[in-house]
Structure formats: structure tokens, C-alpha cells
Amino acid sequence: MSVRGRVTGTRLEGDRGQTTIDYAVGVSVFLLVVAFVFAFVPSLVGPFTSDDTASVVVADRAADRLANDLLVDDPTAPSVLNETCTAAFFDADGAAPPDGCRYDTDGSDLVKALGLGSSAPSLNVTVRSGETIATVDGTTLAVGASPPPGAEVSVARRATLLAGETYSLAVRVW
């Protein structure tokens, strides 16, 4: 049987055991790797679990649907809003829409009117001219609750034409 190193007393030279410094370096590297994994892995899966992009998509689609389909006379002339249908949508009284309007439910139930499903976020739809909320036939063109302070709000805007004037239709989602 061969033994590496030479025997000097009771100790073999050349074969040494784990020293304190070896142990400290090994544990330090292990702890750094564990810390890196805990710090980095959540950011890898974050984009797939966050619903921040969902509110952007909802706002964009709702604005498109209102400005190009529900509130217009003719879909071939998008963003030209019908005054009667727009006023009836924003009065939010729950009454049936006037004849010729392209929606079934007014702004009293935005989730249903925009076809968003049962797990829809909170919405606000407003038509403005600059900083002033527009009115048509005495109806203020704003429906839905205001977002709470500090809420992350996604906004989609569409330029529209109503009664020959340019307005901005804004859909806010939070």
C-alpha cells in the first residue's frame, strides 16, 4: 500500500485536511450564489406575472371601441362621434339607447358596455376639450369613478370629432 507524502511523526505531509480559510471561502461563495438567485430570479418571471400591461391593453382597446365603433354613426368614418348616441351613452341612466346607436348598454355599466368580462379593472371615460370636460345637450361627457390617489393609472386617448369640434376621448384604467 502506498501512502502519499512522507510520514513525520503522526502527520502526513502533502495531505492536509480542510482548513478554516477553505471553509470560509466555500461558505461565502455558497451564500453569494443563494443571494444572487433570490435577488435575480423574481425579476426573470416578473414580466410574465405583472398585470401592468393588461391595464394598458384594456385602456387602448376600450378607447378604440368607443371612438371607432360604439359612438360613431358610420364605422367607415371612425372618430366622428354621433351627438345623440354620445350624450345617451354618457348620461348613464341605464335606459335603452336611442335608435341607430351601435351599443346596447350605456355608461352606467362600463364593463358590460365595453365587453370587458367579469374580472375587469376600474374604468373612467371622459371627453375633453383641453382641460374642460365636454357637454352635449346638457350631458357631461364623463362616466366612471375617479382613480384613488396614488393608483397606477393607464390612459389611452383618441382624437375625436363631435359636432364639428375636436375633442379628446380618454379612457383611464386602474
The cell numbers describing 135, all together, are: 357637454
CB neighbours of 144 closer than 8 A, spacing ≥ 6?
107, 110, 122, 123, 124, 125, 172
Instruction: Answer yes or no: is pLDDT of 11 > 60.
Output: no
This prediction has a pTM of 0.69
CATH topology for 52-173?
Answer: Ribosomal protein S3 C-terminal domain (3.30.1140)
Instruction: Give the C-alpha distances (Å, rounded to integers) separating 62 from 7, 48, 70, 102, 120.
Output: 85, 23, 10, 14, 12
**Secondary structure of residue 25 in the 3-state scheme:** helix
Q: Environment class of residue 73 by beta-carbon count within 10 Å: exposed (0-12), middle (13-18) or buried (19+)?
A: middle
* Residue-wise pLDDT tens digits, 15-71: 667 788 889 999 999 999 999 998 888 777 766 655 567 888 899 999 999 999 999
Q: What does the domain layout of the chain look like in residue ranges?
A: 7-49, 52-173
Q: What integer is the mean pLDDT of 71-86?
A: 94
**Secondary structure of residue 139 in the 3-state scheme:** strand
The cell numbers describing 160, all together, are: 375625436
Instruction: Give the C-alpha distances (Å, rounded to integers) separating 98 from 9, 101, 102, 108, 148.
Output: 107, 6, 9, 15, 33
Instruction: Answer yes or no: is pLDDT of 141 > 70.
Output: yes
Instruction: Answer yes or no: is pLDDT of 3 > 70.
Output: no
Residue 169's pLDDT band, with cuts at 50, 70 and 90, is very high
C-alpha–C-alpha distance, residues 70 and 65, integer Å? 6
**Pick from 71, 69, 145: which is nearest to 108 by CA?**
145
Higher pLDDT, 117 or 70: 70
The cell numbers describing 99, all together, are: 335608435
